[in-house]
Amino acid sequence: MERSLFSEEHEMFRSSFRSFLDREVVPRNEEFDREGIVGRDVWESAGASGFLAFAVPEAYGGAGARDFRYNQVVAEEMCAADTFASVTGITLHNDVTLPYFLDYTNDEQKARWLPGMVTGELITAVAMTEPGIGSDLASISTTARRDGDSYVLNGAKTFITNGINSDLVIVAAKTDPTLKHKGISLLVVERGMEGFDRGRNLDKIGLHAQDTAEMFFHDVRVPVENRLGNEGEGFLYLVKNLPQERLSIASAAISHARAALDWTIDYCGERSAFGQPIGRFQASKFKLAEMATEIAVGQVFADRCVLALNDGTLTAEDAAMAKWWLTELQKRTMDSCVQLFGGYGYMSEYPISRAYRDARVTTIYGGTTEIMKEVIGRSLGF
């Protein structure tokens, strides 16, 4: 089915971004996997090429392209180029953290932070998850006590994407511990602030190229001018931005599934057994047909969600449906594709093996599948 989602401008952007990946990322994929981090020079190159924070207004150095179809193009091409792990940090920067800096900053904060986010000089992260506390944000224990013109921040966060590379970290903290969600505020902690320490770069099953770290805050004095929006409204801001975050994950998931299917179709046409390509065997053909159909159906829903986000009509429930269904589809697809590759699918030099490892976390981060079903179930009156 032909997609009519993208304009000529989107396709020009796609061509440029794919050229950037082929030039700057693909040749170093194995290096980033070994090192557990993507070099800052890649970020700076991405910024110079216009692929970072392109939704930022032109007045602050961006392209003013607040159209999630461009973000979707990034997801599709990073997966097709087998750079899912190496570019995940960039999608977090563009899709997840940037809206906070666009929507909840004053003019002084915008002038201070946005230009560096566009160039790659300022890499961003968001720190919500704490040890022992996953999706229950209202129960976070990190505190920020007001003391004059500063907040004194204490606590710990974990599983933070861009945890090592980040220069600006949006930290969710309790500014009024007597309240639950109404006591949460968002503070921007900057690299080098005294008392702000990073833990180890966490050793994960997949996403090896993505730096994921622990963070510790010991009496960190965060200026009041580093607060995003109003005190006590942080939870509302987080909830408002969750649909875009979850759509970002869902968009990458369907793109990754499609890339894996394409690799597998090629392999099934080249690999022979008993005198014919393995794709001609009914078992293989039926499995490929099932995956192709599910991916085609999933893509239609993903595209509709992107257009709804652009129109400001994407609901939390629809975003949860997309995140749940498409990440579970991604996981099923990777497993089926590895099976069709046979023993070679288990070998690290084949892209499908890396895709299999990297896909496992997507049903967990951004809200687990179970949480997505809870969100949807509540909308049904339960």
Tens of pLDDT, residues 229-255: 999 999 999 999 999 999 999 999 999
Residue 32 and residue 102 in one domain: yes
The answer to whether the beta carbons of residues 210 and 85 sit under 8 Å apart is yes
Query: Domain total for the chain?
Result: 3
Token pair belonging to 196: 């702000």
Residue 204 and residue 162 in one domain: yes
275 vs 154 pLDDT, higher one: 154
Query: Any idea what the CATH number is for the domain that residue 63 is in?
Result: 1.10.540.10
DSSP string, 166-209: -SEEEEEEESSTTSSGGGEEEEEEETT-TTEEEEEE---SS-TT
Residue 349 and residue 374 in one domain: yes
Give a yes or no: residue 145 inside a domain: yes
pLDDT at residue 138 is higher than 90: no
Phi, psi of 221 (to 5 degrees): -90, 110
Residue 220 and residue 300 in one domain: no
Give a yes or no: residue 325 inside a domain: yes
CA–CA distance, 85 with 90 (Å, rounded to integer) = 10
The three-class DSSP label of residue 250 is helix
Residue 243 and residue 372 in one domain: yes
CA–CA distance, 88 with 361 (Å, rounded to integer) = 12
> Based on the number of CB atoms within 10 Å of its own CB, is 149 exposed (0-12), middle (13-18) or buried (19 or more)?
exposed
CA–CA distance, 143 with 123 (Å, rounded to integer) = 24
* Identified catalytic residue from 9, 245, 328, 374: 245
Angle, vertex CA 279, rays to CA 275 and CA 280, nearest 5: 60
Which of 91, 122, 153 is the last residue in one of the domains?
Answer: 122
Residue 316 and residue 360 in one domain: yes
Query: Any idea what the CATH number is for the domain that residue 337 is in?
Result: 1.20.140.10
Phi, psi of 277 (to 5 degrees): -60, 140
Q: Which helix (H) or strand (E) holds 51?
A: none
Range of the domain at 347: 235-379
Look over the chain and give the mean of its residue pLDDT values, rounded to a whole number. 95
Give a yes or no: residue 2 inside a domain: no
CA–CA distance, 228 with 372 (Å, rounded to integer) = 27
Residues, the chain, total?
A: 382
pLDDT of residue 134: 66
- pLDDT-derived band at 157 (thresholds 50, 70, 90) equals very high
pLDDT at residue 23 is higher than 70: yes
Is 245 a catalytic site residue?
Answer: yes
Tens of pLDDT, residues 46-82: 999 999 999 999 999 999 999 999 999 999 999 999 9
Query: In the predicted model, what is the mean pLDDT of residues 119-129?
Result: 97
Give a yes or no: residue 61 inside a domain: yes
Which of 217, 232, 247 is the last residue in one of the domains?
Answer: 232
pLDDT of residue 382: 77
Residue 137 and residue 192 in one domain: yes
